[in-house]
Amino acid sequence: MPLAVVTGANRGLGLETSRVLVARGWRVILAARREAEGRRAAARLAGGPGEATAWALDVGDPASVAAFAERARTERLSIDALVENAGVYLSRADAAAFRESLAVNVLGPIALLDGVAPLLARGAQVVMVSSGMGQLSGLPTELRRKVEAIRDRDGLRALAAELEAGAGSSGGGAYLAYSASKAMLNAATRFLAGELAPRGIHLNAVCPGWVRTEMGGAGAPRSVEEGARGIVWAATLPPDGPSGGFFRDGRPVAW
């Protein structure tokens, strides 16, 4: 039975992605910041051909990420798909909001990937759930230049520190905190895919579109089922599938 880890899996896109994988016979670990909510979500998926269990994980907390990775190593997991879905969109634009947006949307997912990378099976799939708001065309010119220049973790962390220190000075408010973090996640997708390629592991970023979730709001045009479809596609790619790309509904989109 293949194994998937899905973050932010207690609701919305994460829960729907987990539901589809369980229905296809996967074992899914639903990683959720509130473990009780994760357990309730996993119970809703019981009875399918696959299995669902819940583990605690706050991707914005380095200690929580480290504990999750240590538990995964202790249990000797062999992970066939890692879906990094957890994310935040905050209405504030202060330094704390920038710090949390960057921690949850980009730095935490990379730390989690680094922590469990040795446990990824050969040919595994890694999916970074991104957003169209992270496309470079939507960023201020100078910020776009800096994101395009990211080549490694050091460059990513340096830009994160700069954005946090200058929170609000470039305008854009909460929108900028979210879009910058997702653009940086997209930039990381490219260099991380190169690192994992020798093991036959694919890593791609996916934009689910504007979806009717707690984050997207009731007025969003896409259903959760529609949004999750592209995530599941990327999590179940064949061995000759793409890597290092940015996709929506299984089709490439502009960075």
Sign of the CA dihedral running 206, 100, 213, 210: negative
Predicted confidence pLDDT, tens digits, the chain (255 residues): 999 999 999 999 999 999 999 999 999 999 999 999 999 999 999 888 999 999 999 999 999 999 999 999 999 999 999 999 999 988 776 778 889 999 999 999 999 999 999 999 999 999 999 999 899 998 999 999 999 999 999 999 999 999 988 765 555 566 788 999 999 999 999 999 999 999 999 999 999 987 777 676 777 778 889 999 999 999 999 999 999 999 999 999 999
Active site residue 175: no
What is the SS3 assignment for 205? strand
Answer whether 127's CB lies under 8 Å from 84's CB: yes
Task: State residue 160's pLDDT score.
Answer: 93
Active-site residue, selected from the candidate residues 178, 233, 246, 255: 178
Helix axes 153-165 and 173-196, enclosed angle (nearest 10): 170
pLDDT of residue 94: 75
Q: Is 187 within 8 Å of 134 (Cβ atoms)?
A: no
Quick check: 10 and 82 in contact, CB under 8 A? no
Nearest-CA neighbor of 107 among 213, 180, 214? 180
Q: Output the pTM of the full model.
A: 0.95
Contacts of 43 (CB under 8 A, 6+ apart): none
**CA gap 42, 52 in Å, rounded:** 5
Which ranges of the chain would DSSP assign to H, the alpha helix?
Answer: 12-23, 35-44, 62-74, 95-102, 108-116, 141-148, 153-165, 173-196, 224-235
Distances in Å between the Cα of 229 and the Cα atoms of 13, 79, 209 are: 9, 20, 11
**pLDDT at residue 176, rounded to an integer:** 87
Q: What's the pLDDT score for residue 91? A: 73
Strand pairing class (202-206; 246-248): parallel
